[in-house]
Each structure stands twice: as C-alpha cells, then as structure tokens.
Amino acid sequence: MTTGVRRRMGVEERRQQLIGVALDLFSHRSPDEVSIDEIASAAGISRPLVYHYFPGKLSLYEAALKRAAQDLAARFEEPQEGPLGARLLRVMDRFFDFVDEHGPGFSALMRGGPAVGSSATNALIDSVRQAAYVQILAHLGVRAASPRLDLVVRSWISLAESTALIWLDGRRIPRAELEVQLVHDFAALAAVSAAYDEEMARLLRRILVDEPADGPFSDLIARLAALAPA
Amino acid sequence: MTTGVRRRMGVEERRQQLIGVALDLFSHRSPDEVSIDEIASAAGISRPLVYHYFPGKLSLYEAALKRAAQDLAARFEEPQEGPLGARLLRVMDRFFDFVDEHGPGFSALMRGGPAVGSSATNALIDSVRQAAYVQILAHLGVRAASPRLDLVVRSWISLAESTALIWLDGRRIPRAELEVQLVHDFAALAAVSAAYDEEMARLLRRILVDEPADGPFSDLIARLAALAPA
C-alpha cells in the first residue's frame, strides 16, 4: 500500500502533500507535541519515507511554516479602493480567519520557546510582519515612512499580534469586536502620534477626509466624543 | 592571583559577582557573541573557575536574566498617589532607563532566537509582564480585570515592549517623547475599548476625573480636539 502510494505521487507532489499534512497537525497542537510518526500516519506513508523527503521534524516544521507565512501574507492584500477603515477591517477579518484556523500552532510559534524558536522561524515571522508593513504604507499612499509613522505602523502590527494571542487564550471577547477594535486602535495610535507631530497630523487628516459618516472611524469619533467629560 | 581572589570571596559572593559581570556583558551584546572566556577575563578569574560556579553559559545567562528581571519588575513599583497619568509617566521613564542600560541584550532577548529562547527565559519574560500587569491593575484600583480590561492592559504592555524595541533600532525618536506617547497610548486603547463597553467607560471616567488640567491625559485630549475636522 505504502509503495503503491509512493509510485503514484511525484517527488514534489509528495513533498507538498507532507507539508499540508504537517501544517494541519502543527496548527492544531504545539509543534513539540507532534511526532514524525503521526505525520507519517496522517499522510498514509512510512516513517522512513517521511525522512526521505525531509531530514527531520524541524525542516518539515519550517516548510509548513513557510506555507502558512505565504498564506497569511496573501491575506493582507487588499484593493486600494474605498475608505481606509473598511479596507483595514476586511484585512482584520481575514487575519482572524487565519489565526482561528491555526490557533494552537500560532500561539506556540509567537510565544517562542525551544521547540519553535530558530533563526529560520524568526526570519519567516519577520517576513510576514514586513509584508503587512509594506501593504499598510501602500494603502496610506506613503513611499518612505517617517520615524513616527514607522513606529505607529510597526507597533500596531505588534498590537494586532498580541490581541490575536490574547483572543486565542480563552476567546473571551467575540472576534468581530476585536477586528473593529484593531481598526480603531490604528486610528487611535495614529491620532496620539499626530497630536505631537505635524506630518502625522497631515496624514491623519487626509485619511479622515475619505472616511464615510457611517464608517468605523467616524463611529469611533462619535463614541469618544460622547465619552469625554462635559 | 586567581587563587588569591578565590580565597577572598565566599561562594555566594563570587556567584553574585559573576552574575553582575555576565549581565553587563550580555546587556551590551547579543548573548551568542559573549564567551565564557570573556566573562572569566572580565571577572578576573580562570575559565575552569567560572564552570565551578555555573555549569555553562546558558545557566549563567539565565542567572543574569533573572537579576535583570527582578530589577525591571522593581522599577514598576510606584506609590499609589497622585494622578494616574503622572504615575505611569514615571514608570515609563524608569522602563526606558532599563532598556537604555541593557539595549542590545534586551533586543536579542525579546526578538527571541536559538541562543536566548528557552522555557526558562520565556518564563522570566512572562514573570516581568505579570509584575507589570499586577501593578497596573493595583493602580487602577481593580482586583479582577474584565476580559476587555485584561486585553487593554496586556496589549498595552506588549505595545510598550515593541515601542522600546523599535526605539533601540536606531533611536530615531527622543525617548522622552516615546514615554509620553506610551502614556497616551494607554489612554487611547482604554478609550477605544470604553467606546463599546460600559464597564470600561466607567473605569475611564473615574481615571479622567483625577487628571489635572495640565497633566498628560488632558494635554492629549486638547490636542486631539484641535486635530478633529471642523
């Protein structure tokens, strides 16, 4: 049976199948809880055959992670049309889909640790952050970010990561609420920066002009105004 | 000479001296760039004698990290007196002092990687985050945080970490500005959460009542109001 399956699949096809099987297993549990035996069994092949394609669990883990990273980076792509708040909200929805699909693996990876922390995995995480960063600057219509805009964008990306991790730990707040909240957090962090920096203020005014009266940004401003002491 | 020094110091005293020397070296460069030989030389003792006190570089690194973690956690302690914004600003000042003193080591640690990521180091990082969390809740006068307050506090702690890491990477924004900004970020994240949650709104109103007209929170609100479209 094993040999039969082996004959039917080409080398690259088999590698891709193994990566898919491994990604599924690594997504649902912490990587150190997943064994090569389990991956072999889920792929319907023998343990030695897994080693024929990947020298060890780490290389299979890194290949699975690479596929996940490409998948996530692709979800950041969003047409540059319509108000910015609505665009960001759609991206957040796809981001939380990803986090939901890969929950335990995402937590294990982002919280680091001996089983997952390596130069290769860190480089992959950074490549996804960089993809998010480049997308956001493109949507803001900015080619080279000033130090303050750079800080707002990078620190917001980090905030999105930590919000997702906190959500996964018990799912005590509905994710739809967190998706809207992260859009607002972006506006809030940009506004804090804009309060002290004229360049950020110009950028924020340009964004707000395009926001519809019933969009997430305007909604936030109305709610904040209601909150302010009389 | 080596034997002479050895005689003058007791075991615990020598251990503490080695930890201090190691912390200094690990603070100024990435841990994988620091050798046991260098630590021995800086401590004025032989390499075998270092191994007499610590089985290897990792155990010495973990001991140094533990001391740094205790030092940082102690800096979060702040008398529960006066307006909250001013208290948080003083803590941010001490936090950036720490980050400044341990820059390269702090970056290497927080960015993870094979040389620094272990269960023990992750547990130490989490213990410092937990100390910050407990302090903030105490200052807010809250015993058990709701899921939304929990999210605001934890995600703000993560924001403070990432802001410090971005600052260390080039120091392109004056740290005093970032300290104020983080206080404002806290208010902004709390305000976003309060815009949709009555319990958070009550908490925020209670905080704002105590803020002086010339404090950081009031300053921010005035600047944001000036920014809003007419």
Q: What is the rounded CA–CA span in Å between residue A211 and residue A230? A: 26
The residue that leads in pLDDT, A189 or B225, is A189
Taking CA–CA distances from B200, the nearest residue in chain A reads A227
* Cβ contact B158:B176 at 8 Å: no
The answer on pLDDT for B230 being more than 50 is no
Q: Where is average pLDDT lowest: A37-41, B20-24, B43-47, B208-212?
A: B208-212
Local structure of B19: helix, strand or coil:
helix
pLDDT category of residue B86 using cuts at 50, 70 and 90:
very high
- In this predicted structure, what is the pLDDT of residue A60? 94
Q: What is the mean pLDDT of residues B193-211?
A: 87
- In this predicted structure, what is the pLDDT of residue A212? 83
Please report residues of A whose CB lies closer than 8 A to that of B62: none
Q: What is the rounded CA–CA span in Å between residue B145 and residue B153? A: 9
Q: What is the mean pLDDT of residues B81-85?
A: 91
- In this predicted structure, what is the pLDDT of residue B121? 85
Count the residues in chain A. Answer: 230
- In this predicted structure, what is the pLDDT of residue B170? 95
Distance from CA of B20 to the nearest CA of A (A): 25
Q: What residue type is B74 in one-letter code? A: A
Q: What is the mean pLDDT of residues B116-134?
A: 87
Looking at chain A, the domain(s) classified CATH 1.10.357.10 span: 76-227
**Chain A stretch 118-177, residues whose beta carbon is closer than 8 A to a beta carbon of chain B:** 118-119, 122, 147-148, 150-151, 154-155, 158-159, 161-163, 166, 170, 172-173, 177
The answer on pLDDT for B113 being more than 60 is no
Distance from CA of A99 to the nearest CA of B (A): 17
C-alpha A211: how far from chain center: 25
Please report residues of B whose CB lies closer than 8 A to that of A215: none
- In this predicted structure, what is the pLDDT of residue A179? 97
- In this predicted structure, what is the pLDDT of residue B9? 81
Per CATH, is A76-227 categorized as 3.40.50.300? no
CA trace torsion A59, A63, A64, A65 (10° rounding) = 100
Looking at chain B, the domain(s) classified CATH 1.10.357.10 span: 80-227
Q: Could you tell me the fold of the domain covering A2-60?
A: Arc Repressor Mutant, subunit A (1.10.10)
Q: What is the rounded CA–CA span in Å between residue A146 and residue B178? A: 15
Q: What is the mean pLDDT of residues B44-63?
A: 94
Number of helices (H), then strands (E), belonging to chain A: the values are: 12, 0
Taking CA–CA distances from A147, the nearest residue in chain B reads B172
Residues B59, B131, B194: CA angle, nearest 5 degrees? 140
Q: Which long-range contacts (CB under 8 A, 24 or more apart) does A155-158 make?
A: A155/A189, A155/B159, A155/B162, A155/B163, A155/B166, A156/A182, A156/A185, A156/A186, A156/A189, A157/A129, A157/A132, A157/A133, A158/B158, A158/B159, A158/B161, A158/B162
**Chain A stretch 170-229, residues whose beta carbon is closer than 8 A to a beta carbon of chain B:** 170, 172-173, 177-178, 180-181, 184-185, 188-189, 191-196, 201, 204-205, 208-209, 220-221, 223-224, 227-229
| Nearest-CB residue to B173 (from A112, A119, A147) | A147
The residue that leads in pLDDT, B108 or A13, is A13
The answer on pLDDT for B6 being more than 60 is no
Please report residues of B whose CB lies closer than 8 A to that of A195: 184, 220, 223-224, 227
The residue that leads in pLDDT, A124 or B115, is A124
Helix axes B198-209, B147-168, angle to 10 degrees: 60
Taking CA–CA distances from B170, the nearest residue in chain A reads A147
- In this predicted structure, what is the pLDDT of residue A1? 46
pLDDT digits (tens, 9 = 90+) for A21-55: 999 999 998 888 999 999 999 999 999 999 999 99
Looking at chain B, the domain(s) classified CATH 1.10.10.60 span: 2-60
Select the residue from B155, B205, B206 to test the A interface by mutation, using most A Cβ atoms within 10 A. B155
Q: Which residues of chain A have pLDDT under 70?
A: 1-7, 112-117, 216, 223-230
Taking CA–CA distances from A177, the nearest residue in chain B reads B196
The answer on pLDDT for B1 being more than 50 is no
| Nearest-CB residue to B220 (from A154, A173, A195) | A195
- In this predicted structure, what is the pLDDT of residue B154? 96
Q: What is the mean pLDDT of residues B67-85?
A: 95
The answer on pLDDT for B131 being more than 80 is yes
Q: What is the rounded CA–CA span in Å between residue A203 and residue A199? A: 6
Using alpha carbons, select from A81, A207, A213 the residue that is nearest to residue A140: A207
The residue that leads in pLDDT, A88 or B216, is A88
The CATH code that applies to domain B80-227 is 1.10.357.10
Cβ neighbourhood burial of A198 (10 Å; 0-12, 13-18, 19+): exposed
Share above pLDDT 70 across residues of chain B, in percent, rounded to a whole number: 89
Q: What is the rounded CA–CA span in Å between residue A51 and residue A36? A: 9
Share above pLDDT 90 across residues of chain B, in percent, rounded to a whole number: 67
